[in-house]
Structure 1
Amino acid sequence: MKKFLNSQLSTIIYSFRCTVIALPVAIAIGSMVALFLWLLNWAIHYRFAHPWLLYLLPLTGVAIHFLYKLYGRSAERGNNLIIDEIHEPGGGVPKRMAPLILITTVITHLFGGSAGREGTAVQIGGSIANFFVSLFKLNEADKKMLLTAGIAAGFGAVFGTPLTGAIFALEVITIGRIQYNALLPCLIAGFVGDATVALWGIHHTVYHIDVVKTSAEYYHRHLPLDLLLLMKVIFASAIFGLASWLFANTTHAVKNFSLKMIKIDWLVPVCGGIVIIALTFLIGKSDYLSLGVEPEHPGAVTIVSAFQQNGADLFSWLWKLIYTAITLGTGFKGGEVTPLFYVGATLGNTLADFLNAPVSLFAALGFIAVFAGATNTPLACTLMGIELFGGEHAMLFAIACFTAYFFSGDSGIYSAQRKDGEKVMSDYWQRMFEKYRR
């Protein structure tokens, strides 16, 4: 009994300590993310009103390059630096990372670069969390915990998905393993970060899935299952996984090719900006610039329009993938996740038409599944589906996210992710086959 009581007392002390440490960190991160979202919204709408700003994209790429060259140092590694610091604490996350990534992401969007916002929010979270590590003089174990909580706060705040933020922070560190010892501070940070953004008056985009009419059978009175719809979801989710693989590898390929072929490093973003301008002229519209959430003009393809019938073109997903790979691969700043949402939602729209399936449901499945495959976080993305779209289709969300995860290959958008075991047993059998064939 005494041992049990001591255990409970230790749990209470740990919980109180986590709360005291995580609260100010999450409030600071939420406030910074709120400022970022406000500035980002201003930048996007300002470019809508002044489309000529796109022609300055190559010059702004040079400015971003020299900002990081002169002041960025290790901050250039972005999210991967934070993940590495959680695995093996070393030089720390520089304080300058937060203002640098905020400013350069806003610049990228102001001049039309195709990027997201998750990377910015996560880097803001990691940078501010590392500042509090120094302030509180925390040990190595507490540093890992607070950096993870910083990711949760940043992610939960920028998308309005606090539970997803908490699980994403735990799941993204190592593929195939979640360590729950940081769950409590991550939950606190995710919810407080999101609440802080709301208190600052920042609102998130609302998505909606139309009523899906199916010939569902019920198992155990509670689980609706339409077998034909289920097969369509599995087929589409495998394609979502392949799109995740294509996104990650195309972005890495563009970066490697640019560095290899262009010997003068500041010319890399110049070339990237010129290609973006040329592509916009080639296809004759600006739908694939910037974030892709709000329309620049009536009829523009956006994430929101993808939830409607005929709300995306056949290859909208591919164009957005190419635009983003060029933008991020040539040195512009921002995240990958919102473009992944765009790729997934528009691909889901296209597949729904091909499979005669519910458009808004398949847009939602693509929205979360392509993200799951590219980041190797299927559990967090399942929860994101529930937080954004409701729990009615939770089973399909899980099937889509895990199927895409299995089909996305071994790579992802975060090179610092470590791997604990194989994604599927087929890798094991493939190695055994090759062993005996030799």
Structure 2
Amino acid sequence: MTFCRGRFLELEKYWLLPILLGFVIGLAVFVMVCIYRILNHVSLLIVNFDPIFIFASTVIAILGGYLTVKFFADSKGCGCGTELVIERYHHKSGFVSLRDTVSKTLASAITIGFGGSAGLEGPSLLLGGGISSFITRRLGLSQKDVKALFLCGAAAGFSAIFKAPLTGILFALEIPYRRDVETEVFVPASIASVTAYFTSAMTLGTETIFSSSTLVTPTFPTLMHAISIGVLTAFVALAFMGIFEKMNALSMWLSMRIPPLLMCVFAGLMLGLIGFFHLEVLWLGYDFIHKIITTDLGRLSITTLIAVLILKILATSLTLNFGGSGGLFVPSIYVGGTLGLIYAQIMGLKPTILYVTLAMSALLAATSKSLLTSISLIAETVGPSSIILALISSSISYFLTGSRSFYKSQLTSKVDAGIPHASMDKHSF
């Protein structure tokens, strides 16, 4: 009788509860996207009325995000939501307060909606993990179960925002470590992600940010270009991470010398200056990414594309280190796609989409140390025909960048977390 009751509890926790979590998180992501869209519509109205108002919009983006966290969150740190998810997973056993979950998600919507350069995957991961943390703690589950299901909630949040359930599963399992995968929660994470995907598809539609596919037959020349892109992307990834770290250090240095509000205003004005000359580097950047993928951008000059790439790195680093909130996943895709387009134009290569997606995958793998995720995203949203080439480019970039990553809280492996690799007990999934 005790054995049967134990198995039933396992069924409830790791099979039925993830369905509930996926549904609730899918609806929560829908609400977040609606709030973002309203704020983004207001921002675009302001900017379209007079381009000079881009400065007002970007100041609101940084200052609004900072003040939301300052006054409403328990944890006062701004920045990347993904970093917070990793930190809470490793050091707080998946505990995120409801105040932090709501306020920091709202801060991200304000930041990105009004022109901050960041991605919605950061707040989606935090929203999913935070909702899971709240529900599982209210149900009185053990610390181990709360931590495991926290990762499932994060996977559901990612899946809902990108309409890519397999990518969501892999990202949540890969992101805690730089050289390891949290395989034990694969089954409940899969259930939560698929449920969140269907919920999001019913409320937001099934369209992904990549709505194009192409049939590619790997050849020796494409193999050589895939290798070249992997090497080139590794250097750009190191530059992106280096600039991001330097900007973080500058922010910490300035915060000890000038008032935080003044620093936010200054950062907002600098972000507005960037947007005044290249508006496409602000906000989410989905339109620019979509145009790159569908080759609907026109033939921009190499100089313009290089300027866009550099300014996107600067805009993202400013946004997330000077008071704004959001994610780094989408900016990584943006920078990678732009780099791929530059490479394809310089080398005169066709189809352009192949080299764009290879660079996207490679840069994402390098900056987040998520090799499987980067390949899965391309396969799931663009098409499976370029998987082998993406694997080559991503693997080269992943290993050439060593242990460098955007996320300071990432551990190298489970051994660093005190978890033996052979710890697959009867309760593992």
TM-score for both structures, normalised by structure 1: 0.84
Asked if residue 343 in structure 1 is aligned to residue 332 in structure 2, the reply is no
Could you say which residue in structure 2 is the equivalent of 1:157? 160
Ranges in structure 1 where 5+ consecutive residues have no aligned partner: 1-5, 213-223, 295-301, 423-438
Question: Between Structure 1 and Structure 2, whose CA radius of gyration is higher?
Answer: 1
Asked if residue 310 in structure 1 is aligned to residue 299 in structure 2, the reply is yes
1:311 positional shift: 5.6
Q: Distance in 2 between matches of 1:32 and 1:24?
A: 12
Of 133, 136, 147 in structure 1, the residue corresponding to residue 136 of structure 2 is: 133
Instruction: Tell me if structure 2 keeps the 8 A contact 1:61–1:269.
Output: yes
Of 39, 48, 60 in structure 1, the residue corresponding to residue 35 of structure 2 is: 39
Quickly say closer, same or farther: Cα 1:59–1:158, change in 2 above 3 A: closer
User: Which residue identity is paired with 1:332?
Assistant: G
SS in structure 1 at match of 2:208: coil
1:10 positional shift: 8.2
Could you say which residue in structure 2 is the equivalent of 1:204? 208
User: Which residue identity is paired with 2:42?
Assistant: Y
Q: String of CA shifts for 1:341-378, please: whole Å, max 9, x gaps.
A: 11111110001112332311111112222111111000
Quickly say closer, same or farther: Cα 1:140–1:412, change in 2 above 3 A: same
Query: % of aligned pairs identical?
Result: 24
Of 371, 386, 401 in structure 2, the residue corresponding to residue 393 of structure 1 is: 386
Most deviating of 89-98 and 314-323: 89-98
Of 271, 274, 277 in structure 1, the residue corresponding to residue 269 of structure 2 is: 274
Q: Distance in 1 between matches of 2:92 and 2:34?
A: 33
Instruction: Tell me if structure 2 keeps the 8 A contact 1:245–1:409.
Output: no
Instruction: Tell me if structure 2 keeps the 8 A contact 1:26–1:190.
Output: yes
1:187 positional shift: 0.5
Could you say which residue in structure 2 is the equivalent of 1:55? 55
Instruction: Tell me if structure 2 keeps the 8 A contact 1:75–1:94.
Output: no
Could you say which residue in structure 1 is the equivalent of 2:71? 70
Could you say which residue in structure 2 is the equivalent of 1:239? 232
> More relative contact order in 1 or in 2 (CA 8 Å, sep 6+)?
2
Most deviating of 302-311 and 353-362: 302-311
Quickly say closer, same or farther: Cα 1:37–1:177, change in 2 above 3 A: same
Instruction: Tell me if structure 2 keeps the 8 A contact 1:75–1:81.
Output: no
Quickly say closer, same or farther: Cα 1:293–1:405, change in 2 above 3 A: same
Instruction: Tell me if structure 2 keeps the 8 A contact 1:348–1:365.
Output: yes
Residue-pair matches, total: 396
Quickly say closer, same or farther: Cα 1:314–1:285, change in 2 above 3 A: closer
Q: How does 1:166-185 map to 2 (within 5 A)?
A: 166-185=169-188
Instruction: Tell me if structure 2 keeps the 8 A contact 1:81–1:93.
Output: no
User: Which residue identity is paired with 1:406?
Assistant: F
1:421 positional shift: 9.6
User: Which residue identity is paired with 1:304?
Assistant: H
Q: Distance in 1 between matches of 2:128 and 2:220?
A: 42
User: Which residue identity is paired with 1:55?
Assistant: F
Instruction: Tell me if structure 2 keeps the 8 A contact 1:115–1:327.
Output: yes
Instruction: Tell me if structure 1 keeps the 8 A contact 2:152–2:188.
Output: yes
Asked if residue 285 in structure 1 is aligned to residue 278 in structure 2, the reply is yes
Q: Distance in 1 between matches of 2:358 and 2:248?
A: 29
Q: String of CA shifts for 1:386-438, please: whole Å, max 9, x gaps.
A: 1011111111121122122112342212111001399xxxxxxxxxxxxxxxx
Could you say which residue in structure 2 is the equivalent of 1:320? 312
User: Which residue identity is paired with 1:120?
Assistant: P
1:286 positional shift: 1.1
TM-score for both structures, normalised by structure 2: 0.85
Could you say which residue in structure 2 is the equivalent of 1:359? 352
1:91 positional shift: 8.6
Most deviating of 15-24 and 26-35: 15-24
Q: String of CA shifts for 1:29-85, please: whole Å, max 9, x gaps.
A: 111111122232333343233205522232553343233223223263643332233
Quickly say closer, same or farther: Cα 1:16–1:208, change in 2 above 3 A: same
1:110 positional shift: 3.1
Q: Distance in 2 between matches of 1:107 and 1:145?
A: 30
Instruction: Tell me if structure 2 keeps the 8 A contact 1:385–1:394.
Output: yes
Could you say which residue in structure 1 is the equivalent of 2:23? 27
Could you say which residue in structure 2 is the equivalent of 1:413? 406
SS in structure 1 at match of 2:73: helix
1:271 positional shift: 1.3
User: Which residue identity is paired with 2:335?
Assistant: V
Q: Distance in 1 between matches of 2:73 and 2:173?
A: 27
Instruction: Tell me if structure 2 keeps the 8 A contact 1:75–1:93.
Output: no
Q: String of CA shifts for 1:126-158, please: whole Å, max 9, x gaps.
A: 110110121111112111211110110011111
Of 3, 7, 13 in structure 2, the residue corresponding to residue 17 of structure 1 is: 13
Q: Distance in 1 between matches of 2:367 and 2:87?
A: 18
Q: Distance in 1 between matches of 2:147 and 2:168?
A: 16
Q: Distance in 1 between matches of 2:278 and 2:181?
A: 43
Instruction: Tell me if structure 2 keeps the 8 A contact 1:311–1:349.
Output: no
1:242 positional shift: 2.2
